Amino acid sequence: MRKSSVQRYWEIDLLRGLAVMMMITFHTLFNLEFFGEYPFILDTGFWFYFQQATAGLFFLIAGVALTLTHARALSNPRAGDRSFWRFFRRGGKIFAWGMVITVVTWFFLREGYVVFGVLHCIGVSIILAYPFLKQPLWALPVGFLCLIIGNYLDNFTFSFPWLLWLGFIPERFYTVDYFPLLPWFGLFLLGLFLGGLLYPSGLRRFSLPDCPGFPLLRGVMFLGRHSLVIYLLHQPVLLALLAVLGAIDFSF
């Protein structure tokens, strides 16, 4: 069997690793505020935009990475017409992990549990973005349209909960993690567009030096290569460390 000719690019792992570090930083502050008595203001000002930038970086990189995954699938002779189901399973797996987070947060938090968070949105986005992989230029206008509609919907609340996953925020709705398809699918599509522009057919279109050998950068890239596992495990680890240090009063 011929191996995929699409290589792994260190800059993608580095950016994803940076997003992981930003996420851990924000969630550390969130835990100190939510479970402790530290008066951080995270829903406005600098930290609000820091959190939005962190999530935006994750979605953009996920879109770029999907174009590389698609290129690898096309270079695999076994992919063929079944390539959509590869992405359906991939997106379904990430969405399923999102549902695990829903169950865990409902059990431990009840009020504010995660209904449609980052993993839910990325999982569905992977499936919905598949038609754009063959025509990535269309991802640009559709992505901007999603951003515009999503930001418009953010100004309203609705009397029904059934479309909260899309961006129709119900009245008195509260959750600790909410990323509806509108507008966040728009950022995913913009990432897909950038992937098609910068890595056509999975090949880097621009020149970069070889991966730097600095241990710190290697460590950040390691985080990027294992971002899903770190996303799933980092909160329990953070909570345990903060509890041991006495920074929060947290018990189940």
pLDDT in tens, 132-146: 998 899 999 999 999
pLDDT in tens, 55-84: 999 999 999 999 998 888 777 666 554 578
- Is 251 within a domain? no
Q: Which amino acid is at 193?
A: F
Spatial CB neighbours of 176, under 8 Å, sequence gap ≥ 6? 30, 34, 105, 109, 112, 113, 114
Which of 6-15, 47-56, 153-162, 227-236 shows the lowest per-residue confidence on average (mean pLDDT)? 6-15
Measured CA to CA, the distance from residue 22 to residue 110 in angstroms comes to: 26
Cα-based distances in Å from 33 to 30, 43, 109: 5, 11, 15
- Is 48 within a domain? yes
- Is 171 within a domain? yes
Within the chain, where are the H helices?
Answer: 10-34, 45-75, 83-108, 118-128, 139-153, 181-198, 215-225, 227-244
Portion of the chain with pLDDT greater than 70, in percent: 94
- Is 145 within a domain? yes
Instruction: Read off the pTM.
Output: 0.92
The mean per-residue pLDDT over the stretch 159-177 comes to 95
Asked whether the CA dihedral 86, 65, 196, 166 is positive or negative, the reply is positive
pLDDT in tens, 197-206: 999 988 899 8
Measured CA to CA, the distance from residue 106 to residue 229 in angstroms comes to: 21
Measured CA to CA, the distance from residue 11 to residue 171 in angstroms comes to: 42
- The whole domain housing 58 covers 10-202+212-244
- Is 250 within a domain? no
- Is 14 within a domain? yes
pLDDT in tens, 2-59: 444 557 899 999 999 999 999 999 999 999 998 888 888 888 899 999 999 999 999 9
- Inter-residue contact 166 to 181 (CB < 8 Å): yes
Domain count of the chain? Answer: 1
- Is 249 within a domain? no
- Is 207 within a domain? no
- Inter-residue contact 60 to 187 (CB < 8 Å): yes
- Element containing residue 43 per DSSP (H, E): none
Give phi and psi for 170, each to the nearest 5. Answer: -70, 155
Mean pLDDT (the chain) is: 90
